[in-house]
Structure 1
Amino acid sequence: MKHLTPHDPSPRALGFAMPPEWAGHAATWMSWPADDDLWFGQLEAVRTEYAQLAATIARFERVELLVRDEESERDARRRLASGPDSSLDIQFHRVPLDDVWIRDNGPIFVRNEQNELAFTNWKFNSWGEKFEWKNDDRVPEYVAAQLGMGHWDLSTVLEGGAIEVNGDGVALVTRSCLLTPTRNPHLSEQDYATLLGAYLGIDKLLWLDGGLENDHTDGHIDTITRFTDPQTIVTSVEHDPADANHAVMGHNLKQLREMQDGQQRPFRVVELPLPALRLEGEEGRLPPTYANFYIGNGFVVVPQYGDPNDQRALDVLTPLFPGREVIGLPSRAIIGGGGSFHCMTQQQPEGTVWSGEEVGVGA
């Protein structure tokens, strides 16, 4: 297993690119919630919802579940063994953790035409040093050791939830997130295009301006706008002009309708409502969204909030995923931490492990 650096050939130079989420998975990586303070005293309710999410995913594909201590592992095993799916395919890993948002601190996998799988390990700093992060930043190295997988170690800050790919060379990002001075203040839009081209195989980088009000990620793309296939984009809208999200989401919608793919074709843009009810948490307004769904082998899990728009969101999304079961699961407690299902998952695509030993440079 090689640790590659920017001095080595890039993933793109070796034929690797990031697959779309709907490509086949070998597993889903997750991290069990453990810190009651981070959940404002609501850990029990969060674990109840989280167990439903993990059990649902494990019905369709293997779950690699990180647990930070004995109590977490005992709790996870009890909850995941007590339901109707007692034979779920879940592998447990004892790993030091700060939080649960493995989409952002975990590895971002890349694959080549020979179906070999590697990953890129970007710097995680908890969305601009907002919370503790040093244990979570080490998670990709643990994954590499477990899989024996070659990977590239980068000093650039990038979270998985900040980038959305269509599998055909196009990616969506937001300026409000990537251009914050607390991440990579020296990088321009062109610098990001170059980096993401070299390390994730992106040919065309499309920029939206901003995300949801009071989103502590500074506006991750995966909370507002997602690809459902290479030509279809579903994007959040807020119809109440008095709501702070109305103008930002409306501007995003206008931009998306003017964007084109790598072959200069317009995208099909589908509107997805935001929850109708305003949810408040310990630190102000919460950013509930249906766009934070997770796509897996034969399924899509969509967060639900006990909101009038819950069923409407499922009705919008179901036709966009033919052949997949679209499943609504409760996320009212989970959203209190600022994210939902996509933030809590990281897919490991199907593929044979690439060790990187073919590259003659690296430690």
Structure 2
Amino acid sequence: MTLPPPPEWAAHDAVLIGFPSHPEIWGPPLDGARAETAAFADAIADGGRGERVLLVCADDEAAAAAERLIGRDVSLVVEPFGDVWLRDTAAIITGDGTGRDFGFNGWGGKYDFPGDEDVGERLARRQGIAFEACDWVLEGGSIDGDGTGLVVTTEQCLLNRNRNPGLSTERAEALLARDLGLDRVLWLGDGLLNDHTDGHVDNLARFVGPNRLALPMPEENDPNWLIYLDAARRAEAFGVEVVRLPSPGRVLVDEEIVPASYMNFYIGNSVVAVPVYGQPNDARAVEAVQALFPDRRAVGLRAGHILTGGGSFHCISQQLPRIA
């Protein structure tokens, strides 16, 4: 029987964080994204009080840039990859310490970068983690679990024909149980508007305790207000406790709505890093997350440049849980 991955608030041995490495992918936001990523890494290391932070750079140039930005409690790892979204490309660690690595097809064929297809295996073997390959496409950002076998996901992403053509709800549930020990599935509908991952759940809903799910509260003129309301209705009908966090509301980049979300926080051993975007609700969001994790320190960190690449702190990280 497969033991489900420990919840993110369980103790970590370390965390992998992807460092923006390719100017041709990032363009002008590269320097800003690198600075935001380094600040995130330093916050999670927390002066040696947090967890081991392994900042993964794709090449020596990126590593040299990272070394100029990070503090002494962050370690560098050079391992080729396409882009930084290790939540989706690194292995997911189950409750027995096995790294489960899934097929990856560039988020449905949108972004096919060399190195992303096997970076999960290379990083797992480099850390001495037992490794098993799974025979279907699954991205870590498309699921979020509470450690008991309960998982939340979206129909928009997990059942998308551009990942696993013909995958049914029943078959998806069977595969999640077989490979990750996730035996109860809360199906939400769509993810955030203009999310190029086709609705990753870690931008919409996050477990913050056993059977306790955080969801955004719509703001006035919020482009995702119907999505938030539908998600809350489904979650409450399923029987989970719903807690509400602020939403950043309508965030525009070059006059286009972007999938900005406070839900893309990362729960470290001592610090919870909350992405903020210069919006009126930034401080309220950090306060709300702090209330959920009184044993940790919630910090708001700017993530607008990382967001131009399509995600935030949770998307660029993958924790390595401490397995007894």
| TM-score for both structures, normalised by structure 2 | 0.95
CA distance in 2, matches of 1:314, 1:149: 34
CA distance in 2, matches of 1:328, 1:254: 29
Q: Shift in Å at residue 281 of structure 1? A: 4.4
Q: 2:206 aligns with which of 204, 219, 226?
A: 226
- Alignment match, 1:280: 253
For the 8 Å contact 1:51–1:76, the answer to whether it is kept is yes
Question: 5 Å matches for 1:261-272?
Answer: 267-272=240-245
- Once the two structures are aligned, what percentage of the paired residues are identical? 38
Q: Which of structure 1's runs of 4+ aligned residues deviate more than 3 A?
A: none
CA distance in 1, matches of 2:18, 2:76: 10
For the 8 Å contact 1:215–1:287, the answer to whether it is kept is yes
For the 8 Å contact 1:169–1:203, the answer to whether it is kept is yes
Question: 5 Å matches for 1:32-111?
Answer: 32-59=19-46, 60-80=50-70, 86-88=71-73, 90-111=74-95
Q: Please list the CA deviations of residues 326-352 of structure 1 after superposition, one character each: whole Å capped at 9, or x if unmatched.
A: 111111111111100000110000126
Q: Does 1:26 align with 2:13?
A: yes
For the 8 Å contact 2:161–2:167, the answer to whether it is kept is no
- Alignment match, 1:361: none
CA distance in 2, matches of 1:46, 1:157: 28
CA distance in 2, matches of 1:244, 1:285: 8
Q: Shift in Å at residue 288 of structure 1? A: 0.4
CA distance in 2, matches of 1:148, 1:316: 37
CA distance in 2, matches of 1:104, 1:304: 22
Question: 5 Å matches for 1:285-296?
Answer: 285-296=257-268
Amino acid at match of 2:251: R
Q: Please list the CA deviations of residues 157-178 of structure 1 after superposition, one character each: whole Å capped at 9, or x if unmatched.
A: 1000000101111000000001
CA distance in 2, matches of 1:316, 1:179: 32
Q: How many residues align structurally?
A: 321
Amino acid at match of 1:253: A
- Alignment match, 2:235: 256
The DSSP-based 3-state class of the residue aligned with 2:99 is strand
For the 8 Å contact 2:43–2:271, the answer to whether it is kept is no
The DSSP-based 3-state class of the residue aligned with 2:163 is coil
For the 8 Å contact 2:125–2:131, the answer to whether it is kept is no
For the 8 Å contact 1:276–1:308, the answer to whether it is kept is no
- Alignment match, 2:125: 145
For the 8 Å contact 1:124–1:133, the answer to whether it is kept is no
CA distance in 1, matches of 2:313, 2:186: 24
Relative distance call for 1:71 and 1:172 in structure 2 (3 A) is same
For the 8 Å contact 2:92–2:99, the answer to whether it is kept is yes
CA distance in 2, matches of 1:289, 1:78: 29
The DSSP-based 3-state class of the residue aligned with 1:171 is strand
CA distance in 1, matches of 2:33, 2:123: 25
- Alignment match, 2:296: 324
Q: Shift in Å at residue 243 of structure 1? A: 4.1
Amino acid at match of 1:294: Y
- Alignment match, 2:321: 349
Q: Does 1:336 align with 2:308?
A: yes
For the 8 Å contact 2:222–2:249, the answer to whether it is kept is no
For the 8 Å contact 2:102–2:134, the answer to whether it is kept is yes
CA distance in 2, matches of 1:198, 1:108: 14
Q: Please list the CA deviations of residues 194-232 of structure 1 after superposition, one character each: whole Å capped at 9, or x if unmatched.
A: 111111111201100011100001111100100100032
Q: Please list the CA deviations of residues 36-71 of structure 1 after superposition, one character each: whole Å capped at 9, or x if unmatched.
A: 232231111111111101111122111122211111
For the 8 Å contact 2:223–2:249, the answer to whether it is kept is no
Structure 1: runs of 5+ lacking an equivalent: 1-12, 81-85, 261-266, 353-363
Q: Does 1:125 align with 2:105?
A: yes
The DSSP-based 3-state class of the residue aligned with 2:124 is helix
CA distance in 2, matches of 1:69, 1:134: 13
CA distance in 2, matches of 1:31, 1:235: 26
Q: Does 1:245 align with 2:235?
A: no
Amino acid at match of 2:81: L
For the 8 Å contact 1:277–1:307, the answer to whether it is kept is no
Q: 2:195 aligns with which of 189, 203, 215?
A: 215
- Alignment match, 1:360: none
Relative distance call for 1:225 and 1:160 in structure 2 (3 A) is same
CA distance in 1, matches of 2:139, 2:170: 18
| TM-score for both structures, normalised by structure 1 | 0.85
CA distance in 2, matches of 1:125, 1:350: 29
The DSSP-based 3-state class of the residue aligned with 1:98 is coil
Q: Shift in Å at residue 151 of structure 1? A: 1.9
Relative distance call for 1:158 and 1:133 in structure 2 (3 A) is farther
Relative distance call for 1:160 and 1:281 in structure 2 (3 A) is farther
- Alignment match, 1:164: 144
CA distance in 1, matches of 2:235, 2:323: 32
CA RMSD of aligned residues (A): 1.5
Relative distance call for 1:251 and 1:30 in structure 2 (3 A) is same
